[in-house]
Structure 1
Amino acid sequence: MLFRIDPRSPLALSEQVAASVRRAVADGTVAAGTRLPAARELATSLGVNVHTVLRGYQTLRDEGLIELRRGRGALVTAEADGARQRLLHRVRAAVADARGLGLSDEEFGQLVRQALRER
């Protein structure tokens, strides 16, 4: 799993850690039961404080995407797979709506890119 952080980003480093996990769940790179790197190990590899990684992991725990277990680390929950399935369902519904409106793939793609920029 690839963790990416950008110190110049306006997004807090801990949020960038959490976003890396969310992205991996969404694209299917990680599934339920996957063990995330130990916080100390990840902090060292990213060049950040261990508390930064722990804050990111705690955010994911609060969202129900991971479980934090003392001595066992962070595990991706079954809820994460469910989140991916819900997202895929919503994407398919949006594609169906776009088709119903007669939008081309390019027009639909432009709408998606516009929505992503508005975040």
Structure 2
Amino acid sequence: MNTIFKNGRMTFDVQLDIDVDTSSKLFLYLQVKQVIKQAIVSGQIEKGIRLPSAREIGKTNVVSLATVERAYRDLRREGIVEKRKGDGYFVSERVGMN
């Protein structure tokens, strides 16, 4: 994870390598969701970190924008990520809290 500055704000460059199996019976959005969730739960991506945009993930992992957005929506419903208007998706500060 690399620290970068954009518009005077510190952000982190998070790389997510998402391998999707098009022959799998598991929907693509669920495969994407599993990879992101595992990276967060395992601590690979820390709480409060900005996640790559759906567009960035789609470009680098050859999945559609809609597929990534659906995965993010599910993660948001589970409280794992939060969406900040104009800033994108972030790992929720409440991850791991019961």
TM-score for both structures, normalised by structure 1? 0.63
The answer on 1:39 being equivalent to 2:54 is yes
Higher strand share: 2
**Secondary structure at 1:71 match in 2:** coil
Distance in 2, matches of 1:2 and 1:79, equals 24
Task: Kindly indicate whether the alpha-carbon contact (under 8 Å) linking 2:29 and 2:71 is maintained by their aligned counterparts in 1.
Answer: yes
Q: Which runs of 5+ in 2 are unaligned?
A: 1-15
RMSD: 1.5
The Cα of 1:72 is off from its aligned counterpart by: 0.5
Higher helix share: 1
**Secondary structure at 1:68 match in 2:** strand
Query: 1:55-96: per-residue Cα shift (whole Å, max 9, x none)?
Result: 0000000000001123201000012243xxx6xxxxxxxxxx
Q: 1:1-119 maps to which residues of 2 (within 5 A)?
A: 1-82=16-97
Structure with more relative contact order (C-alpha pairs < 8 Å, separation 6 or more):
2
Distance in 2, matches of 1:12 and 1:50, equals 14
Q: Which runs of 5+ in 1 are unaligned?
A: 87-119
The Cα of 1:31 is off from its aligned counterpart by: 1.5
Task: Kindly indicate whether the alpha-carbon contact (under 8 Å) linking 2:17 and 2:61 is maintained by their aligned counterparts in 1.
Answer: no
Distance in 2, matches of 1:59 and 1:26, equals 15
Distance in 2, matches of 1:73 and 1:3, equals 19
Larger radius of gyration: 1
Letter in structure 2 aligned against 1:60: L
